[in-house]
């Protein structure tokens, strides 16, 4: 019955075209690999390594390899939980700042091979690769350029080490959907800061992994969102000007990373990274501080719902498995998304061949709604600068709200209102605007977006 009502509602939709114009792509445009990445939306981050066992966040690099000894590592358990949470992939810290490699690298003596775990025969990246294949998840890697252990760090030779490690993991454990270069950069053992050869690193990645998006503060493919709270700007452009900026301390101001550059030259969308716990690594004393399903839903609205992606860190505990506190929160978060978004009150995909200045959706009968979802077809470029949403009831505007950018996805929530129609008016745009999707929902009131 619910399905029948839904179908009738959808069929009752009509769309008025006030001004129709042919649509041409407007630059900058996403590459194929960036478009693929934009479909990922929600995926997990896994911080795991010596810090898990020493209770540190930034290992010093002097930790004995023996500290790394998970009692019952199970990457299949990570994948089962990722699937149950509706995440589409997992990015693992192959090497964090302490330099410890979760795979038996030929280019370091600070790896799983020197640990006692599985008598030095273990390989976390291989186990995760196999589990991701089995569960149909995409795999990504975080490889910290900053290395507090490697003897070559702080010299030119370290650039060769980093290149060799990238090649090694791409060849052995790829393909990766994303490769993460952290911006943190400290002193080397010789007191010098590393001068990274990023142009060489970028060229290498394009050659050995052309379909992999590369993340760093300033791209080249994906940018940091400017905070570690998982929150994108309400105005969020997929563009960034990178000229004159470097990774780390020399990056653009955090507000710019948060909102992008409206007239930016490069397509470099934001990714929202945040941990489910206060720290990035597992600490037992934080078990009671795991974010609730409601809090995670808020972050979803402020990341995916603002045209960005949601990279949620879920750190395994000392057994090598995701702790029950975290898995319970993740399953609860998935339930909230399903309850909210699986049965739209109204929904419509638009033709992309015409640009419109306003879209009027007749719901057919009066319905209660408190959430609207809009999408732009980003393969044609990001266009909308500002818009308003009017809720209509018997021809009258009963509620109105304003928005700025839309991008890949924009989710707006508002107090529940009875409406028999919705009008979206494009107020300003970089080029004739086109929407690809509209949907309206009635979600639990306690889930409405809070500032």
Q: Does 280 bind ligand FUL (CB under 6 A)?
A: yes
Nearer to ligand FUL, 183 or 189 (CB): 183
- The two tokens of residue 396 are 């009258």
DSSP H helix total and E strand total for the chain: 10, 18
Interface segment toward ligand FUL; rule CB under 6 A; list 69-77, 123-131, 180-188, 257-265: 180-188
- The two tokens of residue 68 are 């790394």
Helix (H, G, I), strand (E, B) or coil at 172: helix
Nearer to ligand FUL, 57 or 130 (CB): 57
Are the C-beta atoms of 49 and 102 separated by less than 8 Å?
yes
Nearer to ligand FUL, 147 or 182 (CB): 182
Helix (H, G, I), strand (E, B) or coil at 105: coil
For residue 247, the minimal CB distance to ligand FUL (Å) is 11
Helix (H, G, I), strand (E, B) or coil at 141: strand
- The two tokens of residue 363 are 């719901």
Q: Shortest CA distance to 269 belongs to which of 26, 23, 25, 36?
A: 36
Are the C-beta atoms of 50 and 59 separated by less than 8 Å?
yes
Nearer to ligand FUL, 183 or 377 (CB): 183
For residue 153, the minimal CB distance to ligand FUL (Å) is 16
Binding mask 125-164 for ligand FUL (x = CB under 6 A): ----------------------------------------
Q: What are phi and psi of 314, to 5 degrees?
A: -130, 95
For residue 143, the minimal CB distance to ligand FUL (Å) is 11
For residue 45, the minimal CB distance to ligand FUL (Å) is 7
Nearer to ligand FUL, 184 or 442 (CB): 184
Spell out the residues 6+ positions from residue 376 whose beta carbon is closer than 8 angstroms to its own: 382, 383, 384, 406, 407, 408, 433, 434, 435, 436
Are the C-beta atoms of 294 and 270 separated by less than 8 Å?
no
Q: Does 359 bind ligand FUL (CB under 6 A)?
A: no
Total residues binding ligand FUL (CB under 6 A): 6
Q: Does 100 bind ligand FUL (CB under 6 A)?
A: no
Interface segment toward ligand FUL; rule CB under 6 A; list 179-187, 295-303, 367-375, 416-424: 179-187
Q: Which residue has the tokens 């400290």?
A: 186
Q: Which residue has the tokens 């060849």?
A: 171
Q: How long is the chain?
A: 451
For residue 103, the minimal CB distance to ligand FUL (Å) is 18
Q: What is the largest CA-CA distance in the chain?
A: 74
Q: Shortest CA distance to 99 belongs to which of 139, 160, 50?
A: 50
Q: Which residue has the tokens 């732009």?
A: 376
Nearer to ligand FUL, 184 or 331 (CB): 184
For residue 184, the minimal CB distance to ligand FUL (Å) is 4
Interface segment toward ligand FUL; rule CB under 6 A; list 149-157, 181-189, 387-395, 397-405: 181-189
Query: Which one of residues 182, 238, 271, 420 is an interface residue with ligand FUL (CB under 6 A)?
Result: 182
Q: Shortest CA distance to 154 belongs to which of 107, 186, 184, 198?
A: 186
Rg (CA), the chain: 23
For residue 112, the minimal CB distance to ligand FUL (Å) is 19
Cα–Cα distance measured from residue 372 to residue 243, given in angstroms and rounded to the nearest whole number:
37
- The two tokens of residue 53 are 């066992």
Nearer to ligand FUL, 57 or 287 (CB): 57
Interface segment toward ligand FUL; rule CB under 6 A; list 178-186, 302-310, 335-343, 358-366: 178-186
* Residue in the shown chain whose Cβ atom is closest to ligand FUL: 184
For residue 390, the minimal CB distance to ligand FUL (Å) is 41
Q: Running DSSP on this structure, what letter comes out for residue 111?
A: B
Binding mask 28-57 for ligand FUL (x = CB under 6 A): -----------------------------x
Q: Does 184 bind ligand FUL (CB under 6 A)?
A: yes
Q: Does 178 bind ligand FUL (CB under 6 A)?
A: no
For residue 434, the minimal CB distance to ligand FUL (Å) is 35
Q: Does 273 bind ligand FUL (CB under 6 A)?
A: yes
Strands of 12-96, DSSP E: 21-22, 42-46, 89-95
Q: Does 282 bind ligand FUL (CB under 6 A)?
A: no
Nearer to ligand FUL, 103 or 280 (CB): 280
Q: Does 98 bind ligand FUL (CB under 6 A)?
A: no
Q: Which residue has the tokens 């990015």?
A: 91
Q: Shortest CA distance to 177 belongs to which of 381, 33, 71?
A: 33
Residues at the contact surface with ligand FUL, assessed by CB under 6 A: 57, 182-184, 273, 280
């Amino acid at each position: 019955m619910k399905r029948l009502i839904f179908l009738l509602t959808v069929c009752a939709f009509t769309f008025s075209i006030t001004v129709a114009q042919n649509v041409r792509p407007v630059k900058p445009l996403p590459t194929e690999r960036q478009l693929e990445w934009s479909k990922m939306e929600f995926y997990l981050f896994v911080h795991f390594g010596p810090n898990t066992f020493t209770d540190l966040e930034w290992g010093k690099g002097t930790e004995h390899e023996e500290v790394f000894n998970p009692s019952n590592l199970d990457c299949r358990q990570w994948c089962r939980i990722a699937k149950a949470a509706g995440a589409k992939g997992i990015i693992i810290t192959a090497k964090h700042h302490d330099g410890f490699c979760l795979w038996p690298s030929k280019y370091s003596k600070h790896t799983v091979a020197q640990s006692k775990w599985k008598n030095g025969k273990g390989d976390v990246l291989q186990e995760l690769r196999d589990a991701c294949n089995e569960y149909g998840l995409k795999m990504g890697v975080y490889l910290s350029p900053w290395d507090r252990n490697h003897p070559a760090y702080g010299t030119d030779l370290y650039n060769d080490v980093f290149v060799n490690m990238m090649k090694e993991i791409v060849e052995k454990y790829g393909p990766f959907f994303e490769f993460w270069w952290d911006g943190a950069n400290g002193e080397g053992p010789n007191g010098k800061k590393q001068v990274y050869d990023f142009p060489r690193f970028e060229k290498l990645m394009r050659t050995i992994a052309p379909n992999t998006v590369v993340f760093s503060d300033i791209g080249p493919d994906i940018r940091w969102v400017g905070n570690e709270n998982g929150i994108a700007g309400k105005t969020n452009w997929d563009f960034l000007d990178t000229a004159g900026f470097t990774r780390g301390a020399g990056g653009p101001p955090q507000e710019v990373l948060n909102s992008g550059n409206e007239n930016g030259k490069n397509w470099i969308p934001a990714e929202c990274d945040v941990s489910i716990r206060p720290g990035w690594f597992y600490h037992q004393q934080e078990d009671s501080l795991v974010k609730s399903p409601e809090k995670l839903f808020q972050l979803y609205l402020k990341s995916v719902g603002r045209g960005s992606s949601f990279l949620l860190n879920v750190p395994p505990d000392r057994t090598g498995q995701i702790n029950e506190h975290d898995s319970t929160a993740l399953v609860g978060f998935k339930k909230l998304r399903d309850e909210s978004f699986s049965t739209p009150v109204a929904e419509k995909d638009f033709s992309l061949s015409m640009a419109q200045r306003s879209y009027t959706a007749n719901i057919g009968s009066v319905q209660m709604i408190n959430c609207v979802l809009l999408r732009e077809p980003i393969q044609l470029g990001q266009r909308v600068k500002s818009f308003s949403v009017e809720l209509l009831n018997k021809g009258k505007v009963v509620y109105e709200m304003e928005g700025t950018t839309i991008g890949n996805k924009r989710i707006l929530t508002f107090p529940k209102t009875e409406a028999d129609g919705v009008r979206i008016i494009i107020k300003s745009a970089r080029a004739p605007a086109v929407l690809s999707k509209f949907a309206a929902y009635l979600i639990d009131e306690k889930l409405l977006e809070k500032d």
